[in-house]
Amino acid sequence: IAGITQAPTSQILAAGRRMTLRCTQDMRHNAMYWYRQDLGLGLRLIHYSNTAGTTGKGEVPDGYSVSRANTDDFPLTLASAVPSQTSVYFCASSVGSSGANVLTFGAGSRLTVL
Amino acid sequence: AQSVTQPDIHITVSEGASLELRCNYSYGATPYLFWYVQSPGQGLQLLLKYFSGDTLVQGIKGFEAEFKRSQSSFNLRKPSVHWSDAAEYFCAVGAGPTGKLIFGQGTTLQVKP
């Protein structure tokens, strides 16, 4: 089934540890995104990539890094996790990179930082 | 700056009743507007979108939304709610050339039997 796969589904992490959330899509979409979802705040964009080899910062990029070595994969890394990074993380993709593009979302990764 | 406001954090309606979820946006140009739905433990699914043309747009699951430029609104409606419509609903505006969406805070819909 075509779509976005995120891993892990859920993770508990000690503060200060490094963590990589994985995201893979099989739709050959050019653009990919990472959002975090927090109660009362909706979804906020962390980082995005309009095409393989390029990345950009979103609304809340601090403490996160991404890479886009190929079309399919867009991992999100927390170099040194802090409790404020406890959240549900969603990876998304779209065919193109304009405001008119429809995003396809993964099922999310729930991260708890203690 | 672009922003989206969903004034209602939580709404409860009876099954079979009509529904309207409010969305107001702030955007300098003609907006691309979206409604997404999130069922518990799931990712977001597109309900409908407005890009241009007819201001009343139809979506999946019997939902519709009306774009009102004068009110900067894009309210979501459904004439008769089903118990399976219980979910969280997000309004979003497509912002600029990066393709990123700006989301509202979300409205949680509860459906009473």
Verify cis geometry, omega within 30 degrees of 0, for the bond prior to B40: no
Q: For residue B99, which residues of chain A lie inside 8 Å, CB to CB?
A: 31, 33, 48, 50, 94, 96-99, 101, 103
pLDDT at A69: 97
Would you state the pLDDT for residue A113?
97
- On whether any CB of chain B is under 8 Å from the CB of A31, the answer is yes
Average pLDDT over residues B16-40: 91
Query: Using a CB-CB distance cutoff of 8 angstroms, which residues of chain A are in contact with residue B45?
Result: 105
Whether the pLDDT of residue A66 is over 70: the answer is yes
Two structure tokens written together for A112: 């708890």
Mean pLDDT of A23-44: 94
pLDDT at A1 (0 to 100): 60
The CATH code belonging to domain B3-112 is 2.60.40.10
Among the partner-chain residues B43, B100, B105, the one whose CB lies closest to the CB of A42 is B105
Shortest distance between the Cα of A98 and any Cα of chain B, in A, equals: 4
Name which residue leads in pLDDT, B16 or B29: B16
For B77-86, the pLDDT digits (tens) are 999 999 999 9
Domains of chain A in sequence order: 4-97+107-113 (2.60.40.10)
Closest CB to B32: pick one of A44, A45, A100.
A100
Question: Structural domain boundaries of chain B?
Answer: 3-112
3-state secondary structure B56-97: EEECHHHCEEEEEHHHCEEEEEECCCCHHHCEEEEEEEECHH
Q: So what's the pLDDT on residue A61? A: 97
Please state, rounded to an integer, the average pLDDT across all residues of chain A.
94
Q: In this model, does residue B43 exceed pLDDT 70?
A: yes
What is the reported pLDDT for B97?
63
User: Are residues A48 and B94, on separate chains, in Cβ contact within 8 Å?
Assistant: no
Is a pLDDT exceeding 90 seen at residue B2? Answer: no
- The alpha carbon of residue B96 is apart from the nearest alpha carbon of chain A, in Å, by 5
Q: What is the model's pLDDT at position B28?
A: 73
Contact B97 A41 (CB under 8 A): no
Interface contact flag, B43 A48, Cβ < 8 Å: no
Chain A contacts in chain B segment 10-69 (CB below 8 A): 31-32, 34, 36, 41-46, 49, 51
